[in-house]
Chains A and B, each alone.
Chain A
Amino acid sequence: MLGPVPRLDILNETIRNVYYHVPIWFAMLFMMAVSLYYSIKTLSSGAIELDEKARNAAAVGLFLCVPGMITGSLWARFTWNTWWTFQDPKLSGVAIGVLIYIAYFILRSSVDDELKRARLSAVYNIFAFVMLNVFIMVLPRLTDSLHPGNGGNPAFATYDLNSNMRMVFYPAVIGWILFSFWLFDIRNRLSALKRFTDE
């Protein structure tokens, strides 16, 4: 947090937001990958518990989108001079990604039969994960973007993420992923308890 950072125009001290805004999105992608893993397992075994885990992982991922988007918005306000812009393909992509995952939860709530819901939402989740990656990882790299590292190669190499920042950034990524896993675990225990009390 207080370590040395490169001095850059416009960004100034907000370069430190890299420690918070970026790892949140990494953790969100990680949780969506966990959700995908459990969805595939659901399809091969047909177990309701695994489907619940897939749902919980997606819920944690969707929750992480909230601070991710709001922090990004605040950051953009004072560097790009706008809360939100559709000029940036990453922003539009993430908006679509969030809608895709909201649709996942709506789909879940619209099917009453448990087994049917498990299978349907697992199939949808596989598509959702692929679409999310297309929208936030692939498409922004094909066009120009305000985000660093887009419209070309991934960030970091060209970006001034110097070795001092790496020493904070990588532990932050690991920390956020572990934190998201903890939230995921709490949700799992809660839904297991819920199943137990409903019986």
Chain B
Amino acid sequence: MNKHFISALFFISCLVSSAQGSQPAMADDMRADGKIYVVIGVLLIIFISIIGFLVVLERRIKKMEDKIKSKN
């Protein structure tokens, strides 16, 4: 009786643990490897925004150059 009870408990705990193992996967890539890809994402965002700032500057300088050229 006791033996059966323990084996049943073992079986149930195996089921529970396997159920936990197959929990719904959510954005696993970003949570993999200690969420290091979030840090990479942050780096990319900063890089892209700085590039954006430089492009805006570049266009303003271009406009000014055209103005100076048309004056001369």
Give the interface of A toward B (CB within 8 A).
11-14, 16-17, 20-21, 24, 63, 66-67, 70-71, 74-75, 77-79, 183, 186, 190, 193-194, 197
Contact = CB atoms under 8 A, between A and B. Distances in A.
14 contacts: A12-B34, A12-B36, A13-B33, A16-B36, A17-B39, A20-B43, A20-B46, A63-B49, A66-B49, A71-B41, A77-B30, A183-B53, A190-B57, A197-B64
The DSSP consensus for interface residues of chain A is helix
A74 B39 CA distance: 9
A186 B57 contact: yes
A11 B31 CA distance: 10
Interface residues of B, number: 24
A78 B30 contact: yes
Contact of B38 (A67, A75, A190, A197): A75
Given A24-B46, A75-B42, A190-B57, A13 B67 contact: no
Nearest to B65: A197
B38 A70 contact: no
Interface in B26-72: 27, 30-31, 33-36, 38-39, 41-43, 45-46, 49-50, 53, 57, 60-61, 64, 67-68, 71
Question: Closest 8 A-B residue pairs measured CB to CB?
Answer: A13-B34, A12-B34, A67-B49, A13-B36, A71-B42, A12-B35, A14-B38, A14-B35
Nearest to B26: A81
